[in-house]
C-alpha cells in the first residue's frame, strides 16, 4: 500500500515512521528548505529531534510527487493548512481516500475538520479522521499507542482499519465522526486550563476536578452537535483528554503553565515554536457553544484568558464563584 503523509511536522513525521515498513510511505513538507534538511540529515531536527528517518522513507516538497500514486492521502498539517492541502490533493488525484489527523476548529468559521473536507470534496468523499491520545515523540520511538479511526462510513473504517493498525500503533474503529472530532478539538482547550491550574499550584485534586468537569463540557457539546456520549468515554474523548492535561509533552498544557507564570500569549507561542491548537480553538468553541446554548464555563474562561484580557487569577476566581449544581 502506498501512503502519502502530508505534513512534515512532529506528528506527520511520527505517523510516516509508524506506517513505514508495512507500507510504502512518502512524507511531504510544504517548505522546501525544511525538506532539504530532512533529506540531508535523515532526521527532523526542527520538530522531532533524535529520531532517525530510514533511508528508504521518501521525503519531498512536491505534493504532486507525494500524492499522485498514493492509495491513501493522510493529511497531518496543522488545522489551518487542511483546507488548502485538500484542495491541492483534489487537483493532483481526485477521489483518493482521505484521512486527516488535524484537531481543532477552523479559525473564523468554527468548522470541524470533516466540515472543511465536505465543503471541499462533497459529502460522499471517502474519508475519516485519525485521532486519540498520542504524543508524536512516543509514536516515533515505537512506544505502544492506541488511537481511533472514525468515519461516518462504516465500510470505510472496516477497509482501512487493518491497513493502518500496527502492532505498536493500535487503531480502533468508530463511526461517530462528530464525537471523535469534538473530543480531539476541545481536549486542547482543557489542557490549557489544566496547565494554568498546575502552574498556580492548585494541586492534584483540582486537576482531577478540572479534567472531570471538562469531560462533561466536551460531552455536552458533542451531543448537541449530533455526537454520541459513549465516544467521549473512549480514546477520542477521555483518553486524549487525560493525556493532554497531564503529560509534560503537551504543548497546550505548556501554554497554560506559562500563562500562570504571567507570560503574554505572544511570548508563549514564540517560545513554544510549535502550533498549540487550543489557542484558536478556545475562541471558536466559545462561540459555537453560545450558538447551541451549551453551558461551557471552563472553555469560556480559557477563551477570556487567551483573547479577552482576563488574568489567570481572575479566571480562577470566576470559576470558583459559580453556584453549586448537580453533577
What residues are labeled active site? 187
Determine how β-strand 43-44 pairs with β-strand 48-52: antiparallel
Instruction: Give the integer Cα–Cα distance in Å for 258 and 179.
Output: 30
Residue 179: all three cell numbers together? 464525537
Sign, CA torsion 96/101/106/107: negative
How many CB atoms within 10 Å of residue 127?
Answer: 24
Contact 282, 302 (CB under 8 A): yes
Instruction: Give the integer Cα–Cα distance in Å for 249 and 124.
Output: 37
- Helical segments of 4-81, H only: 10-19, 32-41, 63-67
Find where cell 497554560 sits.
256
Entry field: residues in the chain: 327
- Helical segments of 60-176, H only: 63-67, 82-92, 113-121, 136-140, 154-164
Instruction: Give the integer Cα–Cα distance in Å for 228 and 220.
Output: 10
Amino acid at each position: 500500500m502506498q501512503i502519502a503523509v502530508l505534513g512534515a511536522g512532529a506528528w506527520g513525521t511520527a505517523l510516516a515512521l509508524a506506517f513505514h515498513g508495512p507500507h510504502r510511505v512518502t512524507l511531504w513538507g510544504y517548505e522546501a528548505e525544511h525538506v532539504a534538511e530532512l533529506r540531508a540529515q535523515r532526521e527532523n531536527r526542527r520538530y522531532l529531534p533524535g529520531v532517525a528517518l530510514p533511508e528508504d522513507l521518501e521525503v519531498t516538497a512536491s505534493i504532486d510527487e507525494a500524492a499522485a500514486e498514493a492509495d491513501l492521502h493522510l493529511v497531518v498539517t496543522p488545522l489551518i493548512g487542511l483546507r488548502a492541502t485538500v484542495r491541492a490533493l483534489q487537483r493532483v488525484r481526485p477521489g483518493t481516500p482521505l484521512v486527516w489527523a488535524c484537531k481543532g476548529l477552523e479559525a473564523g468559521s468554527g468548522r470541524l475538520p470533516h466540515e472543511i473536507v465536505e465543503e471541499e470534496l462533497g459529502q460522499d468523499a471517502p474519508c475519516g479522521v485519525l485521532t486519540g491520545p498520542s504524543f508524536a515523540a512516543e509514536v516515533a520511538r515505537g512506544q505502544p499507542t492506541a488511537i481511533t479511526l472514525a468515519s461516518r462510513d462504516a465500510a470505510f473504517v472496516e477497509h482501512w482499519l487493518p491497513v493502518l493498525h500496527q502492532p505498536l500503533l493500535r487503531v480502533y474503529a468508530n463511526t461517530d465522526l462528530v464525537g471523535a472530532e469534538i473530543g480531539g478539538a476541545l481536549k486542547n482547550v482543557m489542557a490549557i486550563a489544566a496547565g494554568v491550574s498546575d502552574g498556580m499550584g492548585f494541586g492534584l485534586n483540582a486537576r482531577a476536578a478540572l479534567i472531570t468537569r471538562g469531560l462533561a463540557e466536551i460531552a455536552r457539546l458533542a451531543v448537541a452537535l449530533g455526537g454520541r456520549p459513549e465516544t467521549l468515554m473512549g480514546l477520542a474523548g477521555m483518553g486524549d483528554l487525560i493525556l493532554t492535561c497531564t503529560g509534560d509533552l503537551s504543548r497546550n498544557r505548556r501554554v497554560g503553565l506559562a500563562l500562570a507564570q504571567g507570560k503574554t500569549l505572544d511570548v508563549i507561542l514564540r517560545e513554544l515554536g510549535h502550533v498549540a491548537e487550543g489557542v484558536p480553538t478556545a475562541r471558536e468553541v466559545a462561540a459555537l457553544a453560545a450558538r447551541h446554548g451549551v453551558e461551557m464555563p471552563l472553555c469560556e474562561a480559557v477563551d477570556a484568558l487567551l483573547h479577552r484580557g482576563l488574568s489567570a487569577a481572575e479566571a480562577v476566581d470566576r470559576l470558583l464563584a459559580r453556584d453549586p449544581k448537580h453533577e
